[in-house]
């Protein structure tokens, strides 16, 4: 696991694709949390069981998550004070997040704003959906995007989620007709994964926030090689 930054309060790591952040019950799959506990044994006590975000030490230090197949920047709290601080920043939407994504098709406008509440899918417990395709409560979800590069049949974009709902970026981009490339859950059933890509093309590029010393900081992670290779191939 690449450590991008570390101080007494928090870590910034570059999570590789294919690694889950924390295990679910009875799972033996390796996780970021396994690595954390081995490297920082005292982090076991960091969390908030009253909110359900930390179940029996299964999510110590974890204040936000990345999907298994998503790579990139992950912030981890090293002590309880930092956990509470960063949890509040996320809740108050004071952490600026930027993702890089490659989507199918040509997005018409150079910039866009998607304001579509999300809920649990009616048909598939793994999925989230927009109004009319969900059951139960809908929650506010807002995503902005900007075109970085257009290719024949594909568009490379920066994505700026203003809220942090489960699968938000994936659902929002699918809802406007441009699902993320190689997204097996939300993409077209017969869609082609270009040039042998083995996971969806979504990478957490940066986080920007005010730290506990009141300094404005920004951390970045370059696209990993598998995603860089796809862009190289598309450029020809």
The single residue of 7, 48, 67, 213 carrying the catalytic annotation is 67
128 SS3 class: strand
Dihedral sign, Cα of residue 192, residue 198, residue 200, residue 205:
negative
Dihedral sign, Cα of residue 125, residue 129, residue 134, residue 140:
positive
Question: What's the rounded Cα separation, in Å, for the pair 37 and 40?
Answer: 5
To the nearest 10°, report the CA torsion of 90, 15, 77, 158: -20
To the nearest 10°, report the CA torsion of 56, 61, 64, 69: -80
Q: Which residues of 77-107 are buried (b: 16+ CB within 10 A; e: fewer)?
A: bbbeebbebbbebeeeeebebbbbbbbbeeb
Contacts 24+ apart (CB under 8 A), 223-229: 223/100, 224/16, 224/17, 224/71, 226/17, 226/197, 226/198, 226/199, 227/71, 227/100, 227/102, 227/197, 227/201, 227/203, 229/195
The yes-or-no answer on residue 213 being catalytic is no
Active site positions, annotated: 67
């Amino acid at each position: 696991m690449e450590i991008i930054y570390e101080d007494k309060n928090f870590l910034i790591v570059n999570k590789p694709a294919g690694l889950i952040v924390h295990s679910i019950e009875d799972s033996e799959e390796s996780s970021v949390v396994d690595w954390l506990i081995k490297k920082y044994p005292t982090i076991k006590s960091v969390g908030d069981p009253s909110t359900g975000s930390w179940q029996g030490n299964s999510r110590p230090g974890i204040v936000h998550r990345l999907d298994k197949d998503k790579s990139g920047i992950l912030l981890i709290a090293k002590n309880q004070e930092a956990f509470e601080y960063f949890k509040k920043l996320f809740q108050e939407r004071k952490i600026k997040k930027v993702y890089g994504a490659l989507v199918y098709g040509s997005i018409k406008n150079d910039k866009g704003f998607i304001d579509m509440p999300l809920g649990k899918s009616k048909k598939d417990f793994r999925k989230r959906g927009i109004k009319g395709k969900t059951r139960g409560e809908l929650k506010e979800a807002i995503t902005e995007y900007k075109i970085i590069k257009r290719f024949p049949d594909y568009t490379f974009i920066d994505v700026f989620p203003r809220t942090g709902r489960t699968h938000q970026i994936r659902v929002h981009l699918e809802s406007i007709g441009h699902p993320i490339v190689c997204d097996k859950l939300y993409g077209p059933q017969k869609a082609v994964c270009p040039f042998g890509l083995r996971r969806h093309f979504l990478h957490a590029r940066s986080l920007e926030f005010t730290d506990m010393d009141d300094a404005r900081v920004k951390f970045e992670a370059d696209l990993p090689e598998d995603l860089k290779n796809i862009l190289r191939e598309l450029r020809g």
